[in-house]
Chain A
Amino acid sequence: MSDAAIDPITLAVLAGRMEQIADEMDATLFRAAFNPIIAEAHDASHGLYHARTGDTLVQGKSGLPIFVGVMSFAVRAVIDKVRETGETPQDGDIWIFNDAHLGGTHLNDMRLVRPYFRDGELFCWLASVGHWHDLGGGAPGNYNPAAKDAFQEAFVLPPVKLARAGEMDRGVLDIILRNTRLPQSAEGDLNGQLGALDLGVKRMDELLGEYGGGTVSAALDALSDRADTLMRAELDALPDGRWEAEDFLDNDGIVDEALPIRVALEIRGDRMTLDFEGTADRCQGPVNIARPTAVATAYVAIKHIFPMLPANAGVMRAIDVRIPEGSLLSAEFPAPVSGYTETILRMIDVIFAAASQAAPDRVVANAYGTINALSIAGRKKNGQPWVMFSFYGGGHGGSPESDGLNHGSAPISTATIPPMEILEAAYPVMFRQWALRPDSGGAGRHRGGLGAIYEIEVLEENGAEVFLFGERGKHAPKGVAGGSEAATNRFSYQTDDGWAQPPMVSKMRGIQLRQGQAVRLETPGGGGYGPAAERDPEAVARDVERGLLGADAAERLYGRGGAA
């Protein structure tokens, strides 16, 4: 990277151009991908990374938020591998891997990393990550709530070369495609990712041809410095101090014991420390996460608190993230990690809870805090298997300006939910209810957004089997700045003896339903912001009139029956 100074105008122009390159890589994959998790839910990401350190230089805006922090670890894993083997990267090399303990998140996320050369020198890295539909393991789709190690989750691929100097290694490809239940989908997604990387190379060639390597390189350094300056300016404006927060996971799906997640947030001048000391040790079930995931999650939380900060590594220079050894936030290979979403959502919740004490006007209350991965599966009369798999929404936290959003997406995602009619047309189910859940938002000056109720009846004569991977069944999303907590997650299912609830509350495998029986998911709302007593009485009355708040709940939470 160059030390040359760059004029502020060229910098502004280049910032936009490079962001557009990453965005275009995202768009290329979304269009070409075969599986809807990438095509519809945008569970993918692309960017440019520092030649020596792997730090994020520029990243696309449309990929999944969690990847903004985690991608640099994937690049770093390849840099380490190169160093270890002593080889020299060549133009046209591409590494591929899914090892979550090296690259973060979970094994479904296939990462491709490609060096980019300018005048024979390594200029930067390009990377692409996308969530593949299936990579073998104990459960189709790899959400195995009973997995005790990575091997039961999926096929594990360490960083290996998929292409050498532009030549694809057919052998590596064969190994990968032999280890998935859906080779066609996998190959389609892989082609999409390769296409995105090719496009990135082409666009970088054009940009560097136009501006010269020295200028672009100087711009990248300047953008990173600028992100650091912006972050420090934000931190400097906050008071010094140390604030703690604690929350819990219900259990790990194997042992029914609450798992604490703790953070101490410390601000000194223009620096911040996030120390997760006191968090539970590595557990048996798949709610562990690898260290890269934990660090990336801190980044996601910070970016939600300071949304105008750019998506590059400069932001994190002023922040020290301490993850205790042996904790479930730094689980070593081969600890199972497929349920990582639940753990990182709780990390974000505790960071918000601690930050709100430092800067109550900057932070929103906790969102619903669980993705509720619900799978309903069976066989049709003709023997054909079917699996309906989806994530469900809940409420967002109240904010300093307004009530929380009803039925939003999880903070780590921007995925939309499939339409009910699409699900009913594709699977033998009928939604008896697809509705907001009254009384589920945490009370407060600005109440939390409402969670949802989904009641799904099985229409298939052969019945169906149900799997759920959720959280927040025992520990509700919290309010901030004096706001109250939301309703907990509640899952129930019909049996011949009436409605029942699973012993682990939010996690369950193998529930058998007959035709005409249903499952019912009532998702948490968001926490409240500010004391309930400060809520505008007219807002309480309006919620009662609209049926978002029952008269009883209005009395209990706000001390009045809704009469303004």
Chain B
Amino acid sequence: MTETTGKRMIGVDVGGTFTDVFFLDEAAGEARVAKVPTTRPDQSGGFLEGIRRETDDLSGVSAVIHGTTAGTNALLERKGARIGVITTEGLRDVLEMRRRDRPRTWGLRGEFEPVVPRDLRLEVPERTLADGTIRTAVDLDAVRAAAEHLRAAGCEAVAVLFANSYANPENEAKAVAALRETWPNPHVSCSSEILPEIREFERFSTTALNAYLQPEVSGYLNRLDGALREGGFGSEFMIVQSNGGVMGVETACQLPVRTALSGPAAGVIAAGYIAGEAGFPDVITGDMGGTSFDVSLIADGHSMLAPQTSIDFGMVVRTPMIEITTIGAGGGSIAWVDKGGLLNIGPESAGSTPGPVAYGQGNDRPTVTDANVVLGRIDPDNPIGGKLDRLDVDAAGRAIDIHVGDKLGLSTVQAAEAILRVANSRMAGAIRLVSIERGFDPKRFAFMPFGGGGALHTGAMLAEVGIGRAIVPRYPGVTSAIGCVIADMRQDFVQTINSTVDDLDTAALTRFMQDHVNTGTAMLEGTETRFEARETVFELDMAYVGQTHTVSVPIPVEVRNGKVHAPNAKQVAEAFDDAYNTAYGRLLPNGTRRVMNLRSAVIGKHPKFDLTTLAPSGGSVEDALKGSRRVHFGDDWHDTAIYDRLALPVGAEVAGPAILEQADTTVLIEPDLTGRVDAFGNTIITRKDSHG
């Protein structure tokens, strides 16, 4: 067992452009960050290079935790393995038919190719009914023959997808057992193991995508694991899941689909923890990258979980994930004027390659970043991306003139302000969507920008949405890497129950809960980490009979010495009434209550590291002042003080207009705002006339 005090931990987040590494040495009270270019297609190069920047000796490191986009990229770029499917007679096309949706509402354009072509989706005789009755026993000879066919066709992984296997997994389990005897590798994914939940397309899709990722992702993770061990690493290698919890590398190799949104989830976890420690349990995060702005809401320290997401059209992953709302407005989003004379931002983006016009890498259409450059908000002499020593401000201005200014009769500066106003308005819209539209009053919340560009737009978010304050973390560019070392270990489970409360078999329900607790506990105990606390959460998806939208009903269940003491039907009914009433403000007096699914989570809480480790020591505001620059705000240029952000001491007050610069981030404090460095080195930005 590794001691949890004085530990050395390494968090690694691999993003599209950069690989960020966060080193924490609690005993020494030190934290350091490294940023290296992401290597492609094999991300392990950048991963190991980033760690080597700091140390070659991994023997004293207690944990390496990884937020990865390997899975996301493989899905988006369709670079998973060649896989086969074995399914129920009559259902080979479920994956291709989806839920009868279409890519876009208007236009009727576009087609869809599932990750498994039709000739590699084979049917076998078998059928289970919705009540769990086996109508046709599985034909194992047919399963073996199908497996042989798929192997001969070059499949590296196989998914077994049987109808109603959530209700009775027997046929599927037999088929999978037979397959595992002969399949040449461990890449056999079984739908009732991965997601024993009603809704065949969602279950089949999640399972097939798991199989699709397994060879690639497990190969990648095993390579990393091996390299870490060679470096003397003798402890736990863990992977961040989309739900914001971590899992051991072995689990990740079996369930790679759970890493689909690993990287962004780690960022939200860090944001929530940093804001909470700073005294803001209610926070809205905004991660601005090259092509998108990702927003997430944390209320009272808890991030929202979404039950599923579509990685792309028709590629549904159903596993709990931190809810992140994305709009296409990033630094690289292109500004253009349409035939009707309206200024638009995106959805087309110059991304990081070729990137903004000012990067001089071949793009000649103006982006949001170009507007920031022209207005003096980004230092042209210290470019963060691109290959130039100095950003090409003139080229950015010319592009803005040609594509925006001339068409709207605006000067370069006016046009640049216009681009920012429209971009800010879209970003503010995303924040309204996750807050106001869901009944959360933004005044209660703090806004936390992270990623490279978010802190340039803080003032606009405060002004447009009515948020009271912003908190810029000390290292906004490596938030996801920090999140890796903060995240708890967590395993989620689901089981469809589909019974009215009156008919509820509480003994069976308890057995499922006990199963989940046993499996989750075994996972926690199999690790080398010691947990500060363990937590088990049970929820039921419930609705009235006839309704399709369920509500999440937390149920009070005692787990004593690993044994589940289940509630009775009356307690379940009361818990539902509470939850339903909270959600809709009324109950249906004659409605019949139904339990659709059981959801369990087993969580091992890591002791959290002390964020003052990140805080600055010493320094003075005077010494941190680097100079000044003319920056455009509103209608005029302002002489604006430029500070070295990391050199500002705790308690420093900086009145706007000011710019705080650090290696990968520019923090903009507009003329009507003021910034203060808190005890952890975060910058708290508020209006000059307010006290919050």
**Chain A residues proximal to chain B, CB less than 8 Å:** 8-9, 11-13, 15-17, 20, 24, 27, 31-32, 34, 36, 39-40, 61, 65, 184-185, 226-227, 229-230, 233, 303-304, 307-308, 364, 367, 393, 396-397, 399, 401-409, 411, 414-422, 424-425, 430-436, 449, 452, 455, 459, 545-548
* Chain A to chain B: the 5 pairs with minimum beta-carbon distance, closest first: A226-B340, A307-B107, A307-B106, A393-B100, A546-B118
Closest to A41 in B: B548
Contacts of B429 in A (CB 8 A): 16-17, 20
Cβ-closest chain A residue relative to B425: A13
A66–B105 Cα distance when bound, in Å, is: 11
Q: Which of A8, A34, A424, A432 contacts B164 (CB 8 A)?
A: A424
Within 8 Å by CB of A434, from B94, B106, B340, lies: B94
Chain B residues touching A, range? 35 or more
Asked if B182 CB lies within 8 Å of chain A CBs, one says no
- Contact string against A for B residues 423-450, beta-carbon threshold 8 Å, 1 for contact and 0 otherwise: 0011001001100010000000000000
Query: Who on chain B is nearest to A423 by CB?
Result: B130
- Which of B93, B94, B549 lies in contact with A31, CB distance below 8 A? B549
6 contacts between A and B (CB under 8 A): A13-B422, A16-B425, A184-B590, A226-B341, A424-B129, A430-B135
Shortest Cβ distance from A416 into B: residue: B99
From DSSP, what is the main secondary structure of chain A's interface residues? mixed
A304 touches B108 (CB 8 A): yes
Query: CB of B637 within 8 A of chain A?
Result: no
Residue B198 is within 8 A (CB to CB) of chain A in the complex: yes
Residues in chain A near residue B202, CB distance under 8 A: 419
Is there a chain A Cβ closer than 8 Å to B111's Cβ?
A: yes
Contact B90–A434 (Cβ < 8 Å): yes
B637 to chain A, nearest CB (A): 19
Across-interface contacts of B105 in A (CB, < 8 A): 61, 65, 414
Question: Is the beta-carbon distance between B590 and A303 smaller than 8 angstroms?
Answer: no
A421 contacts B425, C-beta separation under 8 Å: no
Report the nearest A residue to B421, measured CB to CB.
A9
Question: In the complex the two chains form, is A24's CB within 8 Å of B342's CB?
Answer: no
- B102/A419 in contact, CB under 8 A: no
The answer to the question of B92 belonging to the interface, with a C-beta cut-off of 8 Å to chain A, is yes
Contact A408 B130 (CB under 8 A): no
Query: How far is the CB of A525 from the nearest CB of chain B, in Å?
Result: 13
Complexed CA–CA distance, A414 and B107 (Å):
12
> Which residues of A have CB within 8 Å of B588?
184
Asked if B108 and A396 sit within 8 Å, CB to CB, the answer is yes
Is B475 close to A, CB under 8 A? no
Other-chain residue from B97, B417, B426, B547 in contact with A452 (beta carbon distance below 8 A): B97
Q: Which of B90, B106, B198 contacts A435 (CB 8 A)?
A: B90
Shortest CB distance A250–B (Å)? 22
List residues of chain B with CB within 8 A of the CB of A449: 111
Which residue of A396, A414, A430, A434 has the most chain B CB atoms within 10 A of its CB atom?
A434
Known: A17-B429, A435-B93. A419 touches B198 (CB 8 A): yes
Which residues of the other chain, A, contact B433 by a CB distance below 8 angstroms? 20
- Are A34 and B547 within 8 A (Cβ)? yes
Given contacts A31-B549, A405-B110, contact A421 B199 (CB under 8 A): yes
A36 to B543, CA, bound (A): 12
Candidates B92, B102, B129, B201; contact of A405 at CB < 8 Å: B102
> Chain A nearest CB: distance from B127 CB in Å?
8
Docked complex Cα distance between A425 and B167 (Å): 10
State whether B342 touches A15 (Cβ < 8 A). yes
Q: Pick the contact of A407 from B100, B166, B417, B546 — CB < 8 Å?
A: B100
CB <8 Å contact, A402 and B90 = no
Contact A417 B90 (CB under 8 A): no
Please indicate the chain B residues that have their CB under 8 angstroms from the CB of A397 in the complex.
Answer: 108
B548 close to A304 (CB less than 8 A): no
Extra inter-chain contacts (18) besides given A12-B422, A184-B590, A411-B108, CB under 8 Å: A8-B342, A9-B418, A12-B425, A24-B437, A304-B107, A307-B109, A364-B108, A404-B111, A405-B102, A406-B97, A408-B100, A415-B100, A419-B200, A421-B198, A430-B129, A452-B97, A459-B129, A546-B118
B100 touches A17 (CB 8 A): no
**0/1 per residue, B98-128, Cβ < 8 Å to A?**
1111111111111110000111000000010
Query: Which residues from chain A contact B417 at a C-beta distance below 8 Å?
Result: 9
Given contacts A8-B343, A13-B425, A15-B342, contact A399 B199 (CB under 8 A): no
- Complex: A32 Cα to B92 Cα, angstroms: 36
Residue of A12, A20, A414, A419 touching B343 (CB-CB under 8 A):
A12
Q: How far is the CA of A452 from the CA of B119 in the complex (A)?
A: 17
Whole-angstrom distance between the Cβ of A67 and the nearest chain B Cβ: 12
Instruction: Name the residue among A15, A61, A424 with the largest chain B CB count within 10 angstroms.
Output: A424
Contact A12 B342 (CB under 8 A): yes
| CB contact under 8 A between A403 and B108, given known A39-B548, A226-B340, A421-B163 | no
Q: Are A548 and B118 in contact (CB under 8 A)?
A: yes
Q: Mark B309-341, 1 if CB is under 8 A from A, else 0.
A: 000000000000000000000000000001111
Q: Is the CB of A17 within 8 A of B425?
A: yes
Chain A residues positioned under 8 Å from B90 (CB to CB): 431-435, 455
Question: Is the Cβ of B111 less than 8 Å from the Cβ of A403?
Answer: yes
CA of A545 to CA of B92 in the docked complex: distance in angstroms?
15
Partner of A230, one of B108, B338, B418: B338
Q: Is the CB of A65 within 8 A of B339?
A: no
By the criterion CB–CB under 8 Å, are B344 and A12 in contact? yes
Query: Which residues from 122 to 157 on chain B have a C-beta closer than 8 Å to any C-beta of chain A?
Result: 127, 129-130, 135
Decide yes or no whether B96 CB sits under 8 A from chain A. Answer: yes
| B674: chain A residues within 8 A (beta carbon) | none
Known contacts A304-B107, A364-B108, A402-B109; decide if A8 and B408 are in contact (CB<8 Å). Answer: yes
The docked-state distance in angstroms from the alpha carbon of A548 to that of B114 is: 14
Q: A406 with B102: in contact, given A8-B341, A436-B93 (CB under 8 Å)?
A: no
Per-residue CB proximity of B526-560 to A under 8 Å, as 1/0? 00000000000000000000111100000000000
A393 to B201, CA, bound (A): 15
B187 to chain A, nearest CB (A): 23
Given contacts A407-B97, A408-B102, contact A419 B342 (CB under 8 A): no
Query: B99 contacts A230, CB within 8 Å?
Result: no
B495 at the interface (CB under 8 A from A): no
Shortest Cβ distance from A472 into chain B, in angstroms?
Answer: 16
Chain A residues positioned under 8 Å from B103 (CB to CB):
405
Q: Hey, which chain A residues are within 8 Å of B200, CB to CB?
A: 419-421
Most buried by A among B127, B432, B546: B546
Smallest CB separation, B674 vs chain A (Å):
24
Q: Is A65 in contact with B106, judged by CB distance below 8 angstroms?
A: yes
Does B91 make an interface contact (CB < 8 A)?
Answer: yes
A408 to B110, CA, bound (A): 11
Q: Is the CB of A434 within 8 A of B91?
A: yes
**CA A434 – CA B342 in complex, angstroms?**
46
Contact digits for B199-224, partner A, Cβ 8 Å, 1 yes 0 no = 11110000000000000000000000
Instruction: Name, among A32, A367, A435, the residue most crowded by chain B CB atoms within 10 Å (CB to CB).
Output: A435
Q: With A9-B422, A230-B340, A545-B119 in contact, do A422 and B108 touch (Cβ < 8 Å)?
A: no
Residue of B nearest to A182 (CB): B546
Q: Does chain A have a CB within 8 A of B498?
A: yes
- Cross-chain contact of B106 among A184, A304, A415, A455 (Cβ < 8 A): A304
Contact residues in A for B117 (Cβ distance below 8 Å):
546
Residue of A nearest to B418 (CB): A9
Complex: A425 Cα to B168 Cα, angstroms: 13
Bound Cα distance A364, B343 (Å): 29
Q: Quick one: given A9-B421, A434-B94, A449-B111, are A421 and B166 in contact (CB under 8 Å)?
A: yes
Look across to chain A and name the residue whose beta carbon is closest to the beta carbon of B200. Answer: A421
Q: Are B102 and A227 in contact (CB under 8 A)?
A: no
Query: CA of A414 to CA of B92 in the docked complex: distance in angstroms?
Result: 24
Give the Cβ gap from A386 to chain B, nearest Cβ, in Å.
Answer: 11
Cα distance, A17 to B429, chains bound together (Å): 7
In the complex, what residue of chain B is closest to A31 when comparing beta carbons? Answer: B549
- Residue of A416, A421, A546, A548 ringed by the most chain B CB atoms within 10 A: A421
B548: shortest Cβ distance to chain A, in Å?
5
- Evaluate whether A547 and B340 lie within 8 angstroms (CB atoms) in the complex, with A16-B426, A407-B100, A419-B202 already known: no
Given the complex of chains A and B, what is the CA–CA distance between A367 and B417 in angstroms?
A: 45
